[in-house]
């Protein structure tokens, strides 16, 4: 007999996902397909894939280009999951032994359009005294291109917003994302948030190896 309260187990729950994260000189490099993160929607319980995320690193920080193949509807805050939004989860030390956020973990959000003055920010939650100060929202850079049938976001997270970020000493990042939409379920990279509190469980995030 199936226990309806037991969460469905997607294939991604049994495997650690990993990918290469390539060095960028400028944000135009992200147009190269090698910066595109693999589509793991099929592993996340057969999620619908509606967004493409490209990511790159430099000593100055992390660059991203997100293309959502659906029209923009609305933004919302503080619960950004109720509208169109992109969330990034980053662990600058890729610590897989912790079941909660350490001081190296970060949770950022980015909105296609500002909502009551909120456009981008850090909302990392910590359960212990191991914390860091949230970065100033104005340090996070995001530009938007809206079209009738899709929208694109160019994002830059500077190194001063990434506690512990040191590519010369640590060649991996823990990483996951959640792309939200108001009229359907989100798209994830690694574990799905209907089964886990992805934003608080860095052990479930993917590992990205920094490649020069």
Write down the domain spans for the chain.
Answer: 36-193
Alpha carbon distance 212, 210 (integer Å)? 7
Q: Cβ of 28: how many Cβ atoms within 10 Å?
A: 11
Concatenating the DSSP letter of every residue in 52-97 gives EEEEEEETTEEEEEEEESS------SSSGGGSSEEEEEEETT---S
pLDDT tens for the chain, 212 residues long, are: 334 443 444 444 444 678 999 999 988 899 999 999 988 766 655 678 999 999 999 999 999 999 999 999 999 999 999 999 999 999 999 999 888 999 999 999 999 999 999 999 999 999 888 899 999 999 999 999 999 999 999 999 999 999 999 999 999 999 999 999 999 999 999 777 777 788 999 999 999 999 99
Alpha carbon distance 3, 45 (integer Å)? 18
- Which of these CATH numbers, 3.40.50.620, 1.10.357.10, 2.60.40.1190, 3.90.1570.10, describes 36-193? 2.60.40.1190
Tokens linked to 57 = 């690193």
Dihedral sign, Cα of residue 122, residue 124, residue 128, residue 130: negative
Nearest to 118 by CA among 152, 63, 150, 80: 80
């Amino acid at each position: 007999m199936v226990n309806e309260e037991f969460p469905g187990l997607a294939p991604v729950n049994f495997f650690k996902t990993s990918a290469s994260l390539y060095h960028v000189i400028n944000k135009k490099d992200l147009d190269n397909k090698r910066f595109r993160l693999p589509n793991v929607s099929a592993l996340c319980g057969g999620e619908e894939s509606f967004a493409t995320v490209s990511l790159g690193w430099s000593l100055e920080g992390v660059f991203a280009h997100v293309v959502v193949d659906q029209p923009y509807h609305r933004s919302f805050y503080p619960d950004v999951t109720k509208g169109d939004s992109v969330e990034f989860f980053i662990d600058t030390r890729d610590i897989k032994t912790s079941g909660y956020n350490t001081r190296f973990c970060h949770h950022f959000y980015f909105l296609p359009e500002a909502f009551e003055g909120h456009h981008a920010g850090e909302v990392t939650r910590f359960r212990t005294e191991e914390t860091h100060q949230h970065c100033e929202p104005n340090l996070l850079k995001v530009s938007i291109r809206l079209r009738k049938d899709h929208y694109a976001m160019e994002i830059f997270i500077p190194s001063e917003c990434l506690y512990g970020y040191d590519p010369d000493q640590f060649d991996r990042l823990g990483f996951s994302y959640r792309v939200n939409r108001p009229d359907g379920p989100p798209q994830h990279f690694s574990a799905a948030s209907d089964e886990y509190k992805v934003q608080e469980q860095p052990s479930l995030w993917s590992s990205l190896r920094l490649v020069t």
